Chains A and B, each alone.
Chain A
């Protein structure tokens, strides 16, 4: 069964450093997403991406965050200057179309980011 692959599974970084979280979505999917889950809290939407541009973003997704699809397979989330409160599990997801009403997403297994 096709999978969404995320790397690394766990990353530890110093506060103020830049991090890039990587994702390989399912190859024929067109919509890509990032969600995060702070420990013990809800899974929260960050951003959706389609046709090489952001289609929606939440208030969490401020100027510190950016997303990119640098080639035909990878989808990355960059945090420019990490803060302690960025520590969370980050999930990448993809879907064949943008309407989640009929089609649930396929999620990756997540990257646990720890900012120290």
Chain B
């Protein structure tokens, strides 16, 4: 079945550091890939998405590129801020079940001033 594997956290960085959160997936067909973010006390928010190979999703300075050859969708940001502290979830929706999202376990990011 479908699965998503994220790097385990927690991740602690200083402000303005470079961020990478690794995400790899296993899926049937050609899935769409997503990154969701959960700020403290809030719901899951869509951060960015990519629907086909080589697409790059971007939002709020975050980027992720859909790499079919390595089945990866790593999240990157060049310079993190304290306000980026949150839990980040990688997710996919496969062609086998377009109405479900399969999530990774989430990565807690803490950015220190």
Contacts and interface: CB of A to CB of B under 8 A. Distances in A.
Contacts of A93: 44
Interface stretch (A70-78, A80-88, A102-110): A102-110
Contact of B103 (A42, A101, A102): A42
Contacts of A48: 99-100
A43 B45 CA distance: 13
Interface of A: 4, 6, 31, 33, 35, 41-45, 48, 55-56, 58, 91, 93, 98-102, 104-110
Interface of B: 31-32, 34, 36, 41-46, 49, 51, 89, 91, 93, 95, 97-106
17 contacts: A4-B43, A33-B99, A42-B104, A42-B105, A42-B106, A43-B44, A45-B101, A56-B97, A91-B44, A98-B98, A100-B93, A104-B34, A105-B46, A107-B36, A107-B44, A109-B41, A110-B43
A109 B98 contact: no
Contacts of B44: 43, 91, 93, 107
Given A42-B105, A45-B102, A101 B95 contact: yes
A107 B106 CA distance: 16
Contacts of B106: 42-43
Given A42-B103, A43-B103, A44-B103, A101 B98 contact: yes
Given A91-B44, A102-B51, A43 B89 contact: yes
A41 B8 CA distance: 11
A56 B43 contact: no
A33 to B, nearest CB: 8
Nearest to A56: B99
B45 A107 contact: yes
Contacts of A100: 32, 93, 98-101
Top 4 A-B residue pairs of the complex, sorted by shortest distance between their CB atoms: A100-B93, A104-B46, A101-B32, A43-B103
Contacts of B105: 41-42
